């Protein structure tokens, strides 16, 4: 079976390079490859965060509570967390294209069957299936960038992909809400399933069949050993957990803060949250530019500390409403700047096991989201919103300290 996988991987790799454009041999991704990778990131994030407007209808449909319906979102992330660390070694050893097509196919199946779910258990199961497909795509697509683009140019592509993913996250819920008005909750799942099928067709035509270097000499278990043997990677994972905690703590409690302290209604918090999302998008694209410069890690540390200080200030009493929103936008921008930079450094350290390392990277993102929400909630219970800001600052200091003390710059960027 292993020989069959390897034969398929070799075949698609040769086919891809036979038609690869000259641009891809000069440190740039072909346009259609970039479009396909961006479509994957957009789709994954939109599908992951589409459920908010559907929860009331789903709770009514399956005769359950709103809290129980909310677990459909958890099911998606459970599937994602399970598959992301497992799929990386297969991608590194047997090629990116089979993994992409499989992941998109599983997503399409999960969404389509979700649209015809007849009970709670069926919906939960196929939301988890959707998560399994979703979790296969970001590490695999990041591996494509590492395969085709030299380190100095990778950051701008990671910035574009991450920025596109954030756009997908921002649009997923509003689009789902609009679709509910047309075809009910079933129509929302069906429409996203059709979108996934369209992306699958694009991937079939343009997704590259690359794989990592040294793919013949390292076993699947060897991929994990290669990643585990590098302490710097684990410090980088820890940095990512800490900095994601700040982002998600701020984002999770900003709307509640504006409601409790400034009297905004739920509808009135939509614009501030949109502005924060714009800040995150701008930060990701800016980070893609900075990722190719020698000062990239220092800039990231500065952004962490600046974002932490801004978090403390915004959750302090006495500021005007729009100053709070401006500070929140700044925090989102600062912490999104570091994402493509750290991702680029990760691919440099991972050597030939980039998708394997990126799978663990995806898990660290989820840990940061969980930790940010949980620690933010604990801080809120202990000392109010001001303590949420303090918790954000402490996490930001931890992220900057680990990065500065334990993650050295690549020799290629210090010459």
In tens, the pLDDT along 102-145 reads 999 999 999 999 999 999 999 999 999 999 999 999 999 999 99
Q: Which of 49-53, 192-196, 258-262, 375-379 has the highest mean pLDDT?
A: 192-196
Residue 251 confidence (pLDDT): 80
Among 44, 19, 40, which residue's Cα sits nearest to residue 96?
40
Confidence of residue 209 (pLDDT cuts 50, 70, 90): confident
Mean pLDDT of the chain: 86
Mean pLDDT for 370-396 is 89
What pLDDT was estimated at residue 14? 37
Is residue 2 predicted with pLDDT exceeding 70?
no
Question: Which sign, positive or negative, has the C-alpha torsion 13, 17, 21, 23?
Answer: positive
Q: In the predicted model, is pLDDT for residue 160 greater than 70?
A: yes
Residue 22 pLDDT class (50, 70, 90 cuts)? very low
Mean pLDDT score, 306-332: 91
Encoded tokens for 114: 């979700």
Which pTM value belongs to this model?
0.82
Predicted local confidence at residue 215, as pLDDT: 55
Q: State yes or no: pLDDT of 15 exceeds 50.
A: no
Consecutive H or E run containing 63:
none
The pLDDT of residue 365: 85
Q: Is the pLDDT of residue 196 over 80?
A: yes
Which helix (H) or strand (E) covers residue 308, if one does?
Answer: helix 296-314
For 289-315, what is each residue's pLDDT tens digit? 999 888 999 999 999 999 999 999 999
Does residue 4 carry a pLDDT above 60? Answer: no
CA atoms within 13 A on the CB side of 308: 22
Mean pLDDT check: name the lowest of 9-18, 180-189, 346-355, 367-376: 9-18
Residue 248's closest CA among 193, 298, 185, 307?
307
Question: Given pLDDT bands bounded at 50, 70 and 90, which one contains residue 69?
Answer: confident
State the Cα angle at 149 between 162 and 8, rounded to 5°: 95
Burial of residue 33, with CB atoms counted within 10 A of its CB: 0-12 exposed, 13-18 middle, 19 or more buried: buried
State residue 353 phi and psi, 5-degree precision: -115, 50
How far the first Cα of the chain sits from its last, in Å, is 45
Tokens of 252: 């999770």
Residue of 173, 166, 376 lying closest to 277 (CA atoms): 166
The domains located in the chain, with CATH, are 2-217 (1.20.1250.20), 223-413 (1.20.1250.20)
For residue 265, what are the CA distances in angstroms to 67, 175, 269, 321? 21, 22, 7, 13
């Amino acid at each position: 079976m292993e020989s069959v996988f390897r034969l398929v991987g070799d075949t698609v790799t040769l086919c891809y390079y036979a038609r690869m454009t000259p641009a891809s041999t000069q440190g740039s991704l072909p346009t259609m490859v970039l479009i396909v990778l961006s479509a994957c990131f957009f789709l994954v994030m939109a599908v992951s965060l589409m459920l908010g407007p559907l929860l009331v209808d789903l709770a009514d449909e399956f005769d359950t509570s709103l809290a129980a319906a909310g677990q459909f979102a958890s099911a998606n992330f459970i599937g994602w967390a399970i598959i992301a660390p497992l799929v990386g070694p297969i991608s590194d050893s047997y090629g990116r294209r089979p993994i992409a097509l499989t992941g998109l196919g599983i997503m399409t199946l999960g969404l389509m069957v979700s649209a015809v779910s007849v009970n709670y258990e069926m919906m939960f199961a196929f939301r988890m299936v959707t998560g399994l497909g979703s979790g296969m795509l970001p590490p695999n697509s990041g591996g494509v960038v590492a395969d085709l683009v030299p380190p100095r140019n990778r950051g701008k592509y990671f910035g574009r992909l991450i920025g596109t993913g954030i756009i997908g996250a921002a649009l997923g819920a509003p689009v789902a809400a609009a679709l509910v008005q047309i075809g009910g909750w079933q129509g929302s799942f069906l429409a996203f399933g059709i979108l996934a099928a369209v992306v699958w067709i694009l991937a079939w035509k343009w997704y590259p069949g690359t794989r990592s270097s040294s793919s013949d000499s390292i076993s699947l278990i060897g991929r994990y050993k290669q990643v585990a043997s590098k302490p710097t990677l684990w410090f980088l994972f820890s940095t990512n957990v800490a900095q994601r905690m700040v982002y998600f703590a701020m984002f999770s409690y900003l709307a509640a803060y504006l409601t409790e302290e400034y009297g905004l209604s739920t509808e009135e918090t939509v614009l501030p949250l949109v502005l924060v999302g714009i800040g995150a998008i701008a930060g990701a694209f800016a980070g893609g530019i900075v990722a190719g410069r020698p000062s990239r890690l220092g800039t990231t540390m500065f952004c962490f500390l600046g974002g932490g200080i801004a978090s403390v200030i915004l959750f302090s009493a006495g500021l005007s409403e729009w100053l709070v929103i401006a500070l929140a936008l700044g925090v989102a921008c600062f912490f999104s700047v570091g994402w493509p930079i750290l991702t680029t450094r990760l691919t440099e350290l991972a050597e030939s096991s980039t998708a394997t390392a990126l799978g663990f990277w995806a898990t660290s993102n989820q840990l940061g989201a969980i930790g940010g929400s949980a620690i933010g909630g604990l801080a809120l219970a202990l000392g109010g919103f001001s303590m949420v800001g303090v918790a954000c600052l402490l996490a930001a200091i931890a992220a900057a300290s680990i990065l500065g003390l334990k993650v050295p710059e690549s020799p290629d960027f210090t010459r």
